[in-house]
A and B are shown apart, each in its own frame.
Chain A
Amino acid sequence: MSPLTLVFLIAALAGLTCALAGVFLVLRRIAMLADAISHSVLPGLVAGFLLAGGPSLGPAFVGAVLAGLLTVLAVETLSRSRGIKQDAAIGLVFPTMFALGVLWISASYGNIHLDTDAVLFGDLTLAPFDAWRIGNLNLGPQSIWLLGVAFGLTALFLRILGKELRLATFDPSLAKLSGFNPDLLHFSLMAIVSITSVAAFTAIGAVLAVALLVAPAAIARLYTDSYPQMLKLSAAVGVGSSVLGTALAVLFDVSISGLIATVLGIAFVSASLTAPRRGVLWQAQAQRTTKLNHAIEALVIHLSLHANTSREAEESLLSHLIRELGWTPQWTRDVVEEASRRGLLKENDQRVTLTSAGQQLGRS
């Protein structure tokens, strides 16, 4: 495979794996915990490097996953102590872990070839050349192996514990009654998130790992209430944005991981605006429709009250309606237009009269 094909493959695999693992982060409203985990794997990587005496896949991976779990544990412990809320605990723990990592690297200056910029942004263009070797055997890019393992674990986890996790997420007390331990479930979810972040961020960097964990699931959530559909949609958005972002970044020769995160951000904002039922524009439209319905009702009642009376001619004048109902001329225009479109009234010569359908509505 050409390096470029591999770049696309790694990006897509990262998108898929993170998007699946992220669904429960979004459902449980703990997205910022992923941010904390992904920043804090740095000291774990350093520890793994030092223990193994060099950049070696296994120890670094284990070290980083442990650091992620340590972060979760520290955040949970702190947010249970008095006077510290969860957001403060997160805001305290992850910079500390990251700082320890940075200091550790600068203290063993020259011994560790770990670029802190690369930890944050990753370098997807180099990932295909970072091959995993055992002896003389070249097994292909490390990232594919790591992400493959993470994907397998995530899929397995969701298959085995998906149901329990859903119950614990939506109905914690019932989950407790049914006999499983929410804390244990929470912790295994966090372990999966840690493994996924670590696998993803060696190729794509800490920040992008968070973007891929949270954004696809958040977008999927705007479109569906069903859990299986959310999983599918999230996976599709994750893979789609990764491939699109990579293609654009290669085309314009800019940071791949940065552009994927940008694409995800734009996709999230567009979805927030346009998603059916939940989107801002959709809701504004729905509000306008409701308001219009009420206004038409008021207009029809007003007209039918004065129908066949001596004042009918005067009361049905558009200019009179504007005054009597306290509407702006523009709004009156909109209401009358919509009502005549619905066949409730007819308009001619600055006057409106009810149709038979309108009269029926007015009487009911």
Chain B
Amino acid sequence: MVTLLTDYTTRTILLGTLILGISCGVLGVFAVLRRQSLVGDLLAHATLPGVALAFLLTESRNPALLMLGAAVTGIAAVSLATWLSKRTPTDLNTCFAVTLTSFFGLGAVLLSIVQKSPTANQAGLDKYLFGQVAGLTQEQVILMTILGSVALVGTIALTPSLKVLTFDPTLARISGLKPERVELIQTGLMILVIALSISSVGVILVSALIVAPAVIARQWTQRLSVMITLSALVGGAGAFAGSILSIQRDNTPTGPMIVVILALGAVTSVLFGTALGVVPRRLRAKKSQSGGAS
């Protein structure tokens, strides 16, 4: 443990995942409150064709390029699903499911082409599915940390607008806030954070990193500001702990580790959370009942 924290690369990795966990935690609060929890899932799956395409076209594994590809197809998928659900009678749920699977399917097709090409150094692309922090290079980690910080600052700056938009749409309209613009920035930040998190958490599991901290925080508080802080802390702590455990055991993929830790936290919170948890509410109900009888 001590040697783990003194190693320079490991320290940078942990710093990077910590920052990403915090960003996911903050963004997740609004995703969960605005019933957009599955946007993260759609985005993450839809990045696969982008990554494969960027790799096929440039034959480089430059993380910035792959991330750019990921962002392009991610935005395309979310816009397509939202547009279809607005313009046709098909519901959002169905549009999401079809868009998600077809983009991911296209990714699988492109990936099967990548795997055939003899010149391509395809190592690392398979880590994409489940993530492995231990495999990250120094420059990847530095990029992740810098962009992660940008996303975090952006998210914090956007928080007041999102707050108004979520809880008081009328006030938002009066004060001249453009909902589309705020939503676009929100989606953009989400894509940035997801594209960054994929190398550590993987495509399949990144949605949990967005949803779980917010769900956990919601169970302990009724106040938005507290919820955001708590969600950020939980996201950061979960990602940090998952990464440490995954580095310590050579063969353990990081994403599942983080997800299982967060899931345990979620179950505990749903049961014992002081604001909405099942047990405290039962106790309060009992107390007021016996109080009323006496």
- The reply to whether B256 and A261 contact each other, CB–CB distance below 8 Å, is no
Choose from A98, A275, A278 the contact partner of B204 (Cβ within 8 Å): A98
- The reply to whether A259 and B109 contact each other, CB–CB distance below 8 Å, is yes
B35 at interface by CB-CB < 8 Å: yes
- The reply to whether A218 and B90 contact each other, CB–CB distance below 8 Å, is yes
Choose from B36, B90, B205, B278 the contact partner of A221 (Cβ within 8 Å): B90
Known: A31-B94, A83-B218, A92-B208. A261 touches B253 (CB 8 A): no
What residues of A have a CB within 8 angstroms of the CB of B260 in the complex?
96, 99-100, 103
Within 8 A of B (CB), among A260-314: 260-262, 264-266, 268-269, 272, 275, 278-280, 283
Tell me the nearest residue of chain A to B217, going by C-beta: A83
- The reply to whether B108 and A121 contact each other, CB–CB distance below 8 Å, is yes
Choose from B37, B45, B109, B275 the contact partner of A91 (Cβ within 8 Å): B37
Choose from A90, A103, A218, A260 the contact partner of B94 (Cβ within 8 Å): A218
- The reply to whether B93 and A29 contact each other, CB–CB distance below 8 Å, is yes
Could you tell me the dominant secondary structure of chain B's interface residues? helix
What residues of B have a CB within 8 angstroms of the CB of A283 in the complex?
87
Tell me the nearest residue of chain A to B83, going by C-beta: A280
Q: Per-residue CB proximity of B240-255 to A under 8 Å, as 1/0?
A: 0000000000011101
Least distance between B273 CB and chain A CB atoms (Å)? 8
Query: Which among A7-15, A59-67, A158-166, A208-216 touches the partner chain?
Result: A208-216
The CA of A110 and the CA of B270, in the complex, are separated in Å by 36
The CA of A117 and the CA of B270, in the complex, are separated in Å by 33
- The reply to whether B105 and A257 contact each other, CB–CB distance below 8 Å, is yes
Within 8 A of A (CB), among B242-294: 251-253, 255-257, 259-260, 263, 266, 270, 275-276, 278, 281
Tell me the nearest residue of chain A to B264, going by C-beta: A96
Q: Per-residue CB proximity of B103-142 to A under 8 Å, as 1/0?
A: 1111111011100100000000010011000000000000
Interface size class of chain B, counting residues whose CB lies under 8 Å from the partner chain: 35 or more
Least distance between B62 CB and chain A CB atoms (Å)? 24
Choose from B32, B99, B270, B278 the contact partner of A85 (Cβ within 8 Å): B32
Query: Which among A32-40, A172-180, A336-344 touches the partner chain?
Result: A32-40
- The reply to whether A85 and B37 contact each other, CB–CB distance below 8 Å, is yes
What residues of B have a CB within 8 angstroms of the CB of A280 in the complex?
87-88
A4 at interface by CB-CB < 8 Å: no
Least distance between A36 CB and chain B CB atoms (Å)? 10
B60 at interface by CB-CB < 8 Å: no
B176 at interface by CB-CB < 8 Å: no
Known: A81-B276, A264-B98. A91 touches B129 (CB 8 A): no
- The reply to whether A255 and B109 contact each other, CB–CB distance below 8 Å, is yes
Choose from A95, A96, A117, A266 the contact partner of B126 (Cβ within 8 Å): A117
Known: A92-B263, A259-B109, A261-B108. A214 touches B94 (CB 8 A): yes
Known: A258-B106, A262-B105, A262-B109. A29 touches B91 (CB 8 A): yes
Choose from B100, B109, B112, B129 the contact partner of A120 (Cβ within 8 Å): B129
The CA of A214 and the CA of B215, in the complex, are separated in Å by 28
- The reply to whether B257 and A103 contact each other, CB–CB distance below 8 Å, is yes
What residues of B have a CB within 8 angstroms of the CB of A221 in the complex?
89-90
Report the tally of A-B residue pairs with Cβ distances under 8 A: 202
Choose from A83, A215, A258 the contact partner of B109 (Cβ within 8 Å): A258
Q: Per-residue CB proximity of B12-34 to A under 8 Å, as 1/0?
A: 00000000000000000000100
- The reply to whether A90 and B38 contact each other, CB–CB distance below 8 Å, is yes
A26 at interface by CB-CB < 8 Å: yes
Tell me the nearest residue of chain B to A218, going by C-beta: B94
The CA of A290 and the CA of B109, in the complex, are separated in Å by 44
A323 at interface by CB-CB < 8 Å: no
What residues of A have a CB within 8 angstroms of the CB of B234 in the complex?
none
The CA of A236 and the CA of B158, in the complex, are separated in Å by 47
Within 8 A of A (CB), among B134-185: none
Least distance between B267 CB and chain A CB atoms (Å)? 9
Tell me the nearest residue of chain A to B273, going by C-beta: A83
- The reply to whether A92 and B266 contact each other, CB–CB distance below 8 Å, is yes
Most buried by A among B45, B87, B104: B104
Known: A102-B130, A211-B105, A266-B102. A39 touches B204 (CB 8 A): yes
A254 at interface by CB-CB < 8 Å: yes
Least distance between B259 CB and chain A CB atoms (Å)? 4
User: Can you name 25 A-B residue pairings with CB atoms under 8 Å?
Assistant: A32-B97, A35-B97, A81-B270, A83-B275, A84-B270, A85-B32, A85-B35, A90-B37, A91-B210, A96-B208, A98-B259, A103-B253, A103-B256, A116-B130, A121-B108, A207-B101, A211-B101, A211-B105, A221-B89, A255-B111, A258-B104, A258-B106, A265-B103, A266-B102, A272-B84
What 7 A-B pairs are tightest by C-beta distance, nearest first? A265-B102, A261-B105, A258-B108, A99-B256, A95-B208, A211-B101, A31-B97
